[in-house]
């Protein structure tokens, strides 16, 4: 596995985008709305670090949130800041791909406490379009 | 209410005889019919899954949380590979059974239904976020669960693995029910 180094050229206020599938959208009655589950901010099952998109690069490539969700129209798009990730003990590294110049990875151990903090600290760039049974208020 | 989980095709193959016998579960709550010795009707609730169905037998009135939760859990088994666009694994039916089994052991009749969430490694997470409480239970295996609990009203919080001693989890569930 490549050794990752946190990239200081990615500012703390840089937006990191992540697609949120409908099954990871939960109603949080304590916060008063739908947010991503902590389960949405895991590392890849193959062991590689959590993929995100650098919002700045997405904008440079003249794309918007809708383009990022093309083919996943029932998803939401959530954003965290690089500063939040770093405050949770994570690093952020650019990992551009041939098909995605904005690709980056958030690396570091992600125990439940970290994933919860990231989930609660996220904001919707584009909220999920449909309310599922999972995000109904049960109480 | 007496509830038994009778069929979950595919999950049985990895169970020992001891685990099989432990799966007929009985709630301690007496129903009104017990006072008069009148027989309580038993109903079966079926939830389709790939290759079969989950059947839950209920004696007496089923709790409100049971049907939506069982339906949501069974539905997870229809998620294909890469269901999150980041390479997520399909959900292992053992985790669906583990979640149902746990809920039948710890839930009270008036406990709110959890939000059922798949994990990218093929597991199941049950979540409650209400009344100042955040409770998340992730199935790690048939009898191992990771629990995370916070109660803003008391500033209580704890996180850890729950295996055979379900008392801490029963207490958390009780708080969810009492706060209403």
* Residue among B145, B46, B159 at smallest CA distance from B105: B145
Q: What was the pLDDT predicted at B38?
A: 63
- Write out pLDDT tens, residues B15-36: 444 444 334 433 334 433 334 4
Q: The whole model's pTM is what? A: 0.86
DSSP characters over A61-103: TT--HHHHTTT-TT-EEEEEEHHHHHHTT-EEEE--BTTBTTE
Which residues does chain A have within 8 Å of residue B112's beta carbon, measured at their own beta carbons? 138-139
Q: How confident is the model at residue B178 (pLDDT cuts 50, 70, 90)?
A: confident
DSSP helix/strand/coil, B27: coil
Q: For a pLDDT cut of 70, what percent of chain A falls above it?
A: 91
* pLDDT given at position A111: 96
CB atoms A30 and B117 under 8 Å: no
User: Could you list the residue range(s) of the whole structural domain that residue B151 is in?
Assistant: 2-178
Q: To the nearest 5 percent, what fractions of chain A are helix, strand and coil?
A: 25, 30, 45
The whole-number mean pLDDT for each consecutive block of 10 residues of chain A, a chain of 139 residues, reads 83 98 96 96 96 98 95 96 98 97 98 97 93 43
pLDDT of B45:
92
Tokens of B120: 């990218």
CB contact under 8 A, B85 and A23: no
If one compares B26 and B170, the residue with the highest pLDDT of the two is: B170
Q: Does A139 touch chain B (CB under 8 A)?
A: yes
pLDDT of residue A101: 97
Total domains in chain B come to: 1
pLDDT tens sequence across A105-138: 999 999 999 999 999 999 999 999 975 544 443 3
| CB-based contact, A116 to chain B, within 8 Å | yes
Chain A residue numbers touching B79 (CB-CB < 8 A):
23
The minimal CB distance from B112 to the residues A28, A134, A139 is found for A139
Whether the per-residue pLDDT at B2 is higher than 60: the answer is no
Per CB-CB distance under 8 Å, the chain B contacts of A116 are 134, 136, 148
Q: Which residue has the tokens 């949130």?
A: A65
Q: In the predicted model, is pLDDT for residue B137 greater than 60?
A: yes
Q: What is the ipTM of this complex?
A: 0.91
């Amino acid at each position: 596995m490549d050794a990752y180094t946190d990239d200081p050229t990615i500012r703390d206020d840089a937006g990191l985008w992540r697609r949120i599938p409908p099954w990871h959208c939960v109603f949080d009655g304590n916060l008063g709305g739908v947010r991503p589950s902590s389960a949405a901010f895991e590392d890849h099952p193959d062991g590689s670090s959590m993929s995100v998109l650098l919002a700045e690069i997405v904008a440079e490539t003249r794309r918007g949130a809708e383009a990022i969700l093309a083919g996943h129209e029932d998803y939401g798009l959530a954003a965290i800041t690089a500063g939040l990730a770093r405050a949770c003990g994570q690093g952020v590294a650019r990992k551009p791909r041939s098909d995605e110049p904005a690709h980056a990875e958030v690396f570091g151990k992600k125990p439940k406490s970290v994933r919860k903090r990231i989930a609660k600290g996220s904001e919707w760039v584009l909220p999920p379009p449909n309310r599922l049974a999972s995000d109904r208020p049960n109480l | 209410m007496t509830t038994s989980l009778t069929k979950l095709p595919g999950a049985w193959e990895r169970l020992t005889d001891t685990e099989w016998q432990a799966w007929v579960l009985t709630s301690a709550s007496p129903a009104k019919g017990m006072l008069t010795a009148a027989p309580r009707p038993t109903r079966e609730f079926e939830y389709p899954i790939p290759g079969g169905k989950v059947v839950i037998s209920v004696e007496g009135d089923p709790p409100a949380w049971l049907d939506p939760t069982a339906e949501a859990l069974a539905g997870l088994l229809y998620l294909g590979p890469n269901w999150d666009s980041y390479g997520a694994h399909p959900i292992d039916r053992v985790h669906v059974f583990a979640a149902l089994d746990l809920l039948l052991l710890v839930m009270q009749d008036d406990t709110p239904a959890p939000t059922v969430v798949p994990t990218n490694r093929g597991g199941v997470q049950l979540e409650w976020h209400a009344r100042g409480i955040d409770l998340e239970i992730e199935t790690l295996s048939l009898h191992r669960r990771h629990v995370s609990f916070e109660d803003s009203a008391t500033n209580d919080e704890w996180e850890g693995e729950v295996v055979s001693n379900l008392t801490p989890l029963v207490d958390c569930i009780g708080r969810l029910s009492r706060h209403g």
